[in-house]
Every structure is written in C-alpha cells, then in structure tokens.
Amino acid sequence: MKAEVSKNTVALLKAKQTIKQLRKKLANTKQAKRFPNGFTSWMETHHEIVSAIHEAIWYHENESRDLSNRITEVLKTRGTGGLYELAEDLTDRFEQAHINKAWDGEFFDAIAEFLETELK
C-alpha cells in the first residue's frame, strides 16, 4: 500500500511538473503571437500610433483641421473605447507587417506612411 502511495505521489508530481512546463510553453507561444517582435517593439509602436491619433484629434479640436474619416467613424460608433481598440489593432498590424525588421532610422517614416494609409 505504501509503495502504491509513493508511486501515485511521484506520478502526480511528474504530472504537475509537465503541466507547469506546458503552461510556460503556452504563455511563450501566446506572447510570441501577440508580440512577434517582442514587447518593447510593440510598446514603442503602440506609443507612436496612440500619439498620432491623439495629435490628430487635438489639431481637429483646437485648430479646426480635418479629422480622418476612420477616427471620426470610430469616435461616433464606439467612442473612446473604440480608439483604444483601433490603436491596438493598428499596432498589431504594423508589428505583423514588420516581423524581424532591423530598423535603421526609418522606423518613424514607416509608421507615418502606415498611418497615412490606415487612417484615411
């Protein structure tokens, strides 16, 4: 009986370790899918996109500049939460389009071109 308990305990400990390893692999896979170029790259891209959206809204409100149709539509239909989702979606799409890109000074130009196309 004692030998069976020990075998069961060992089996449970091995199963627990396996589950722990699988969870870690799954987390890494999800992170790689979510942040294909790493979190730092995603965060930098997200910052630039949010800044551009904010700047467009500020100039629209304070200097009567036209606001992109896409931002206008998102604000009208989904409000501020929609802008959060828009910025996240644009960030993900930009990061996916530039997987493993080694930037050599053209990052800001690439973001500007991307946003010019996406925020018409």
Query: What are the extents of the domains in the chain?
Result: 1-34, 36-118
The reported pLDDT for the residue numbered 120 is 83
The reported pLDDT for the residue numbered 115 is 96
DSSP track, 60-108: HHHH-----HHHHHHHHHHHHHHHHHHHHHHHHHHHHHTTT---SS-HH
Tokens, residue 31: 């992170």
Contact 6, 14 (CB under 8 A): no
> Which helix (H) or strand (E) element contains residue 51?
helix 39-63
The reported pLDDT for the residue numbered 3 is 63
The mean pLDDT of the chain is 86
Contact 31, 79 (CB under 8 A): no
The reported pLDDT for the residue numbered 10 is 73
Q: What interhelical angle do 107-118 and 69-97 show, nearest 10? A: 140
- For the cut 70, the answer to whether the pLDDT of residue 59 exceeds it is yes
Read off the pLDDT band of 18 (50, 70, 90): confident
pLDDT tens per residue across span 64-103? 889 899 999 999 999 999 999 999 999 999 999 999 999 9
pLDDT tens per residue across span 25-43? 656 666 666 899 999 999 9
The answer to pTM > 0.85 is no
